[in-house]
A and B are shown apart, each in its own frame.
Chain A
Amino acid sequence: EIVMTQSPGTLSVSPGESATLSCRASQSASINLAWYQQKRGQAPRLLIYGASTRATGVPARFSGSGSGTEFTLTISSLQSEDFAVYYCHQYNNWPDTFGQGTKLEVK
């Protein structure tokens, strides 16, 4: 199975600044990569699919890029509601696998 590795484990950023989260796949996931946001006590929420397509209702400050084995989620001009845990998910190879998450916290 494809192992997804996210970095860093925790990212401390000030509101208004930008954050860059990374996800690496142990083998090619093509562009079959999604990003989710999870807040405490809630289910994950889809942000990005197809590596770079924003889901319905997701603000434009969220952007995804990458293909193959290297993927990035960038959040510009961080708002208070953006501080959460973010997960990547590859659905290119069976079985689906997730990264271990990056916690985005207030600096």
Chain B
Amino acid sequence: QVQLQESGPGLVKPSETLSLTCTVSGGSMWNYYWNWIRQSPGKGLEWIGYVYRGGTTNYSPSFRSRVTISVDTSKNQFSLKMASVTAADTAVYYCARKGTTPATWFDPWGQGTLVTVSS
């Protein structure tokens, strides 16, 4: 059974870069789409983007200008970097898997990690 676990700093200063890692256990990363999603009281659930296989990525237009998602299949991990954060980026960040095409649902999800942007 595949499990996902987010890790990274819980506090980031404004204008700095948010960096999170998702570790995948219990299954192969190959052939699936690996996603980042965030949830905040103001915006609800927002899909940020995904990475696939050798590094193919797709980002939401809302985040494209300042987000990078990468994958390290040798470590069974994928990562999110979000630049120039502001208080509006304070949210719970989830990693989640999609199926073998992008037009699928999210399952499973990591437990989520709260990131607060504050000086």
Contacts and interface: CB of A to CB of B under 8 A. Distances in A.
Contact of B105 (A1, A46, A100, A101): A46
Interface in B66-101: 94, 98
Contacts, number: 50
B7 interface: no
A36 to B, nearest CB: 8
Contacts of B112: 43
A43 B46 CA distance: 13
A94 B102 contact: yes
Chain A interface, DSSP helix/strand/loop, else mixed: loop
Interface stretch (A18-26, A73-81, A85-93): A85-93
A89 B111 contact: no
A49 B101 CA distance: 14
A89 B105 contact: yes
Interface residues of A, number: 23
A97 interface: yes
Given A49-B104, A89-B105, A91-B103, A42 B111 contact: yes
Contact of B109 (A43, A49, A55, A97): A43
B107 interface: yes
Interface in B44-68: 44-47, 58, 60-62
A37 to B, nearest CB: 11
A91 B98 CA distance: 10
Contacts of A49: 104-105, 107
A29 to B, nearest CB: 10
Nearest to B50: A96
Closest 10 CB pairs of A and B: A34-B105, A98-B45, A43-B109, A46-B107, A49-B105, A96-B47, A95-B60, A100-B44, A43-B112, A91-B103
Interface of B: 44-47, 58, 60-62, 94, 98, 102-112
